[in-house]
Amino acid sequence: MIAKILHVIIEILIVLVFIHAIGSWIPQIRESRFYEVLDSIVDPLLRPIRQVLPTAGGIDFSPMVLIFILILIDRLLLKG
């Protein structure tokens, strides 16, 4: 039961990180209230990754790393 709830939370986080990454490319979305709320949810998860992983050519790979980590955690939870 708890694993299913965590699975749903992880799936929602993956979608939010993806929307956050896509929204960061569009100035109109980046300046919206929706994006501010989204940023307040996603940025605390991205910040530790950004401290370790430098940007490469101005491209931030931290959302991709976070999604990979979330998928890995989800897979480990499903096996347990």
- pTM beyond 0.85: yes
Give the residue among 14, 13, 2 at the shortest CA–CA distance from 80: 2
The token pair at 28 is 């109109």
Cα-based angle 26, 59, 31 (whole degrees, multiple of 5) = 25
Residue 79: what residue type?
Answer: K
Task: Report residue 80's pLDDT band, with 50, 70 and 90 as the boundaries.
Answer: low
Over the chain, what is the mean pLDDT?
93
Task: Report residue 48's pLDDT band, with 50, 70 and 90 as the boundaries.
Answer: very high
Helix 33-52 to helix 62-79 angle (10° resolution) is 80
- All structural domains of the chain with their residue ranges: 2-79
Higher pLDDT, 56 or 16: 16
Task: Report residue 51's pLDDT band, with 50, 70 and 90 as the boundaries.
Answer: very high
